[in-house]
Structure 1
Amino acid sequence: MKVVKVRGETVVAVCDEEILGKKFVDQARGLKLEINEKFYRGVLMDVKSSLSLIREASIANLAGSRIVGEALNAGLIHSRAVIRVEGVPHAQIVKM
């Protein structure tokens, strides 16, 4: 998980460890999901701690079955807000 403060906003990027550094492409829909290490690499932490930081964030980017699934279970995102690219779920949270 990576946490960055930008202009008074807290941005978090969370992905499942095993997809860090990988790219997923859906040519038919014109989608590419790149789990860029520069963007996502930060501190390895447990799901409970990650969810706590996601709750406090202004913007959150989530990628991977575990973290997206846990965010769904916690009510942080709606299932219709999740896209899948090569089966990998991705969701964003933006609080206004």
Structure 2
Amino acid sequence: MIINERQTQEGLLVAVCDNDALGETFEGDDLSLTVTEEFYGGDEVDEDAVIDSLARADVANIVGTRSVELAIEAGFIDEGNVLEVGETHHAQLLRMY
């Protein structure tokens, strides 16, 4: 998986994607999702590092079937809030304090 962390005015923004999703565009019924290097590009990491990053995130964007599955398994995302966009999955996390 690939992870990109950046500090914003809203807190820590984490972008996670499956390795094979980077650079791809996924088309759904009324949705189009492009997984750009600019936003999602970063370090290739293992699942433990993704879980650690999501635990610290204030906002997260997650793309890719395995990345979203991991976020569900770790309890960050509810399966009912996952979007299917073409051949992949997308989820967002917003932590409210």
Q: Name 2:25's counterpart in structure 1.
A: 23
Q: Name 2:9's counterpart in structure 1.
A: 7
In structure 1, stretches of 5+ residues that fail to align are none
CA distance in 1 between partners of 2:9 and 2:35 (Å): 24
Determine what percentage of the aligned residue pairs are the same residue. 33
Q: 1:17 Cα shift?
A: 0.5
Alignment pair present for 1:67 and 2:72? no
Q: Name 1:85's counterpart in structure 2.
A: 85
The aligned length equals 94
TM-score by length of 1: 0.93
- Structure 2 CA distance for partners of 1:83 and 1:6, relative to 1, 3 Å: same
Q: 1:8 Cα shift?
A: 5.5
Q: 1:22 Cα shift?
A: 0.4
TM-score by length of 2: 0.92
For 1:27-85, what per-residue CA distance to the aligned partner results, in whole angstroms no more than 9, with x for missing partners?
xx310111011000011100111111111100000000111111111111001110011
CA distance in 2 between partners of 1:8 and 1:59 (Å): 8
In structure 2, stretches of 5+ residues that fail to align are none
Runs of 4+ in structure 1 deviating by more than 4 angstroms, as ranges, are none
**What is the Cα-based RMSD across aligned positions, in Å?**
0.9
> What amino acid does structure 2 have at the position aligned with 1:61?
N
